[in-house]
Every structure is written in structure tokens, then in C-alpha cells.
Amino acid sequence: MALFLFLILAAVVLGIIGTVAQGLSYLLIIGIVVFVADLALFGMRWSRRSHRHLVR
């Protein structure tokens, strides 16, 4: 969970810097890519956990 939150924070910071600073719009794109990759990672972890329920 800490990795998920760290990547969200990094994506937000890169997005803000990419938006505010002129000529650094590539940081905004990198921030968006990091955010999407983080959501994909979280989705894979979430789906893997839901399949491990054992019925006794």
C-alpha cells in the first residue's frame, strides 16, 4: 500500500511541475503514465487477493 501511495504522490508532483513550469510538459506526460501504471498495479493486486478466499 505504501508503494501505491508513493507512486500517486510522485505522479501528482510530476504533473504539477509539468503544468506550472514552461517547457517541461514532458513531466506532465510522465506523471500521467506513472499514475496509469500505478492504477494497473493496484488493480492486479486487488484481483489477485479476491481469488484466494477458501471456503471451509
Q: Is 7 exposed, middle or buried (0-12, 13-18, 19+ CB in 10 A)?
A: middle
Residue 13, all three cell numbers: 508532483
pTM for this prediction = 0.69
Helices 25-50, 2-20: axis angle to 10 degrees equals: 160
Q: Which residues make Cβ contacts (< 8 Å) with residue 21, sequence separation at least 6? A: 27
Q: Average pLDDT of the chain?
A: 81
In a domain, 50, yes or no: no
Task: Print the domain residue range for 14.
Answer: 10-45
Any domain includes 55: no
Domain count, the chain: 1
What's residue 51's pLDDT?
A: 60
Tell me whether residue 1 is in a domain.
no
Taking 70 as the pLDDT cut, the residues of the chain under it are 48-56
52 assigned to some structural domain: no
